A and B are shown apart, each in its own frame.
Chain A
Amino acid sequence: MTTVIERRRTPVRRSGVAIGAVVLSVALVLSIVMAVTIGPASIRFTDVWSSIASHLGFGQSPLSVLRDGIVWQLRLPRVLTAGAVGAGLAIAGAVMQAITRNSLADPYLLGLSSGASLGAVAVLVLGATVLLPVAAFVGALAALAATLVIAGIGSSLAPSRTILAGIAVSSLAAALTSFVIFWTATGDSYREIITWLLGSLAGARWPAVAIAVTAIIVVGVPLMVGGRMLDAFAFGDTSAASLGVNVVRTRWIMLIGTALLTGAMVSVSGSIGFVGLILPHAVRLIVGARHRALLPLSALSGAIFLIWCDTAARTVFDPRELPVGIVTAMIGAPVFVLLLIRSRRAL
């Protein structure tokens, strides 16, 4: 066995990643600070933060009750939810890409998000709102199981089959979600369908923050810590097993973890696509495929990405507001095409 002295860390290789983490953390804080001050109701930067400080017990809010409510009840929880959901989806995407050995895997493309939406809508219809995250998790897990069974679980999940199976499951779950809403909803059902299928953070209030942040802490952080096991999957299951990894157990834990994370995020935001696809790829280009670095940096950049996508969604076409999923799809779909073209492996 090695001694403590031999186990000291090499500073050189780690520093790049550490700098990246610090830079992204600062960028995330700045993004939150900036994003809450941007919105159709023009409120000055200092007033926004004085108002937030007053809710944290520092001083008096300079704003009227209405405008104070815009900051504290609408913008801040929405920005925080966007950050947590972006981080969660990016982690889920990176983990799925490793565990299915498919660089195109993503909770949206493999049907988890649609499955989670279906689960969420189903309990909403039944009136059991409390069970929303649980139902979304069950929906995500069921969709994932269906996708993997259709693709043919085995040591070699062919990338194309997995994606095609995901599309089939996703389409069916989306159709069922629309059906349930059409059948039960009165009035503005189109808006609701769009919210679940395209993803929107318009309804995010403090309970949404609580759910999304809790999911990050309870599921996301353990996935990031355990993520180093994912490196061993780079050359497949046999290789992972010969490196001492319990392949079956690790795969199940990781897949259930991604389903939990996706379910929690979808229950507050609907199925926002492509976040889990774009960010891990972008981060991998810069720091490589080592998951100890990839997962935390993907999470941070996912949070920043979705905060700004959502800020764009609610401001660019003011007074109209876009579902944020439209923004992420407009960026993500071309990236997906680019990845398809770049991947030289036979799909």
Chain B
Amino acid sequence: MSRILGIMMVTFFGALLILSTVDFSPWSDPAQPAAVHVSPRYIERTIEETGIPNVVTSVLADYRGYDTLFETSVIFTAGVVVILLLRREKKW
């Protein structure tokens, strides 16, 4: 019973996700919202605002600092969970 319910829910939410891709802008469309004002803003002003020549690094660690902080904590969680699940030692 719960298996059928699970399959139904997965199908429903999967169909919802596939349905939502119809509204995506086409691949590499120069007129999509992110390419119109977000990317040019970072590319033009990253040197004068952060002094970092590499735009990828400045976006990763400065403009999108929250994202990288929680990426790091995801890695932290993965490491701790593997230790908790697998390690069978009294003395480390």
Our verdict on whether A and B bind, yes or no, reads no
